[in-house]
Structure 1
Amino acid sequence: MTTAVEAEPAGPAQKTRHRRRRELGEHVARTIGRLQARVLSTVPQPEAVSALARLRRGIGRTPGFDFSLERYVQVPEHLLGRRPADDTEPTDAEQAAHDAVTLYALHQQSRRERMHADGRGLGQAMAELVRRSTGPDGVRRRFAALGTASTYHESIYHLRSLITMLREHQIPLDYGLLADDLQTLRIPGRRPTIQAIWGREFFRSRPSADADAPVTDNPEEDPS
């Protein structure tokens, strides 16, 4: 006689939680969404494809370097935020929006998939990159370098490298969220806050099952 074993009830399914974009992030997401739709239409629109190329040349540069890019990098007056003492300098919002849009242009280069996707934070994208990459340790090292970057410009330098890797593996990113993060990253004293958020996103996305494996000592290693 076979005894039926009653299965234990499954626990509640975990819902994927996404960070909410702030107002600047929503503006940037709408701008990129419109550009992305034009680039990825059945017949790509030449002006949009040309704009992507010009935007890529703007990575690491100051907002306003190319007057023809106004529709893609302009920040509405009510989102400009605190003006710098030297009003000829960009506000944090202007620089963050500029950097997010130009990095998106790098990400979308030569790709027919949507590289801007709502809800995909940077840490989540990096965890996916670790899973797909044939060199996950290298990805972790580069992401760790971003997490310890001591200046905004250094952060953009590392982001450019990481986004090139995301493009190679067709992994999208929410560029509205990135714009919000970059705006906060520029505020004195707030850099560790954003770096920690990226780290928690990375950990919670469980980038590799190897992280659960026990670490064993090498018996041949000289402890001295």
Structure 2
Amino acid sequence: MLTTIGFDADDTLWQNEAFFRLTQERFAMLLSRYADPLLLAQRLEAAERRNLGHYGFGVKGFTLSMIETAIEVTEARVPARLIGEIVAAGREMLEHPIELLPHVRATVAALATEYRVLLITKGDLLDQERKLAQSGLGELFDGVEIVSDKTAESYRTIFARHGTGADQAMMVGNSLKSDVIPALAAGAWGVHVPHGATWALEAADPPEGHRRFHVIETLAILPALVESLKPGRNG
């Protein structure tokens, strides 16, 4: 029996990756005289992978990785002016207003009348708190968890603390790697809501054939899916 539904935040409830891509395009323009855009993108992705364990997820780690990449590709000759522009680009990302995705408020509000609904996101604490406050969705959630990473163990802990255990919980998100696969491993349902832009470091193969894995095109379909999972409704 389903009692608890967890929602990812970035690119599930509101736009996020699009702003990273716009900033990366700006970064490529700033460094165009020093490196080919494709090579620069590869070096930046490698830096992000290296730095996840140090800086975690979010804009601040991305900005530091851009600075590190700029130093590398220019052999430490990057002008201070360009470093300043990279820092300014990161600050602008942190100040960008929230853009809710379609059907978000109506879906969360509808499910909140019958289930415990949680926000489970990873990234920088201050930035995620800012985005939640600006979203206007805060009052709809029974609990908010901002974690350093999403693992099967973290889902077990969160669903035990806020609900009735992972086996009676569902996680909904755009990332197979972070939102779906570890939630399934914890014993929950995992619902994938694909987003047009997904970070390369979040790529993963879908867990085809898993009995608790579902894919929906938009959040508008989620209430009907949840209804179909009620005892006696799914055969």
TM-score range, shorter chain: under 0.3
Larger Rg: 1
Q: TM-score, normalised by structure 2?
A: 0.24
Q: TM-score, normalised by structure 1?
A: 0.25
More strand by share: 2
